[in-house]
Homo-oligomer: A and B are copies of this chain.
Amino acid sequence: MTSHAWTRERCEALDVADPLGQVRDRFVVVPGEIYLDGNSLGALPRSVPARLAEVAEREWGVSLARSWGEGNWFAAPERVGDKIGSIIGARPGEVLVCDSTTIALIKLLGAALGARPGRNLVLTTSTNFPTDLYAAAGVAGLLADIEVRRVDPDAIVGSLDETVAVLYLTHVDFRTGEMLDLAGLTSEAHRAGALALWDLSHSAGAVVVGCETNGVDLAAGCGYKYLNGGPGAPAFLYVRREHQEIVANPMPGWLGHEAPFEFVPDYRPAHGVRRFLTSTPPILGLAALEAALDCRADVSSEQVRAKSVQLTELFIAALEERLPGAFDLASPRDPDRRGSQVSLRHPDAQAIVQALAERGVIGDFRPPDVCRLGFAALYLRYVDAFAAAEQLVTLMETGGFAGPT
């Protein structure tokens, strides 16, 4: 056995030394399960139920509507937004929690197109998450003369020209885990005079994004994957500070008004990112998301990313060693180009995912042939990644995944 080989003992030693080792205790872990689906729905932070009870029983039940003024409700979209901002490398006042991811993307697409008059193209990839494509088609259906062009990821740079208003990309591909070069592509967009709008759903809380450093103009993402905000958690949107006074929210609403409680018939946008708020914020969802963010406040994105790379590396290496050729690795082999997941292509992917689940390893299947396994570094141990690989090896060696013929 070579010195780089992954063994259970080596994983146990890494867990002992893991600076995030105790963070796992802040999450509910189902006994007997290795949960590799945190990229779909993140695990429950232990602090969330009590926070929900407090908001429901005290803030809603007793303080009632007064909580809008007295409590933390009115400011929640920006307060919780700033907590996400610190994870994605945004400055205070650049992130707002609101709506769902798709609605947030539609808002930002509309805002970007409005800020680039005379340019009619939304440039995106054919591999983008379907709802992102539907959102763009929806916006193009509303606005006159807007075209959405889908290209292969390797044709992005060559497609950037003076007609592109917004380069609209997902940072980490939902199917393969491929991570695009956010800094480089943002820079290329700027060179072409376009804005860069990033979907961070599969990156926020899992990889280092660096919105400020990398010049990101606009971004949105979901709260329920690596941010652990719960099922259907509110989304977030990021608007770079320098753009905030020149972009318009295409879905104006009273909570984004400069003076919502004047109840005047004409809209005057609030200053800052708050103008992207439309309606009354979803307080229960915000409370769960905030509790989830608070429970990781002492963890840096760099720490999460470093552990996540090791988890996916050890899983891939173990399969390469024990099951060479059994799968096509759909994810990039280079960890610098890979998000926090490992996607394996196999004709029997669906049956394999199901059989793995019966053995306590929870992943998911994405058509047509992808086993998708997410590695959430906050609550997954090295021994879990190792044991998951072991289970998959055993399954493939015994053919235990064959469904009824």
Question: B-contacting residues of A (Cβ < 8 Å)?
Answer: 28, 30, 35, 37, 40-41, 43-44, 48-49, 52-53, 56-57, 59-62, 64-68, 73, 99-103, 106, 110, 126, 128-131, 133-135, 137-138, 141-144, 150, 174-175, 222, 224, 230-235, 248-255, 257, 260-267, 278-286, 288, 362, 364, 366-367
- Bound complex: CA of A129 vs CA of B60, how far in Å? 24
CB-nearest residue of chain B to A255: B131
Q: Which B residues touch A150, using CB under 8 A? A: 265
Tell whether A53 pairs with B61 under 8 Å between CB atoms, given A100-B279, A142-B142, A288-B284: no
19 additional A-B residue pairs with CB within 8 Å, beyond A100-B279, A102-B279, A130-B254 = A40-B65, A41-B60, A44-B60, A44-B61, A48-B56, A49-B52, A52-B56, A52-B284, A66-B362, A99-B99, A101-B280, A130-B264, A133-B267, A138-B252, A142-B142, A175-B263, A235-B279, A261-B367, A284-B284
Contact of A56 among B128, B131, B248, B288 (CB under 8 A): B288
Count of identical protomers in the assembly: 2
Shortest Cβ distance from residue A103 to the other chain B in the assembled complex, whole angstroms: 6
Q: Which B residues touch A135, using CB under 8 A? A: 251-253
Do B102 and A103 touch (CB < 8 A)?
no
Q: Which B residues touch A128, using CB under 8 A? A: 265
Contact of A232 among B40, B64, B174, B282 (CB under 8 A): B282
Contact of A231 among B106, B233, B262, B283 (CB under 8 A): B283
By CB atoms of chain B within 10 A, which of A61, A128, A288, A362 has the most? A61
- Bound complex: CA of A41 vs CA of B70, how far in Å? 14
Do A281 and B232 touch (CB < 8 A)?
yes
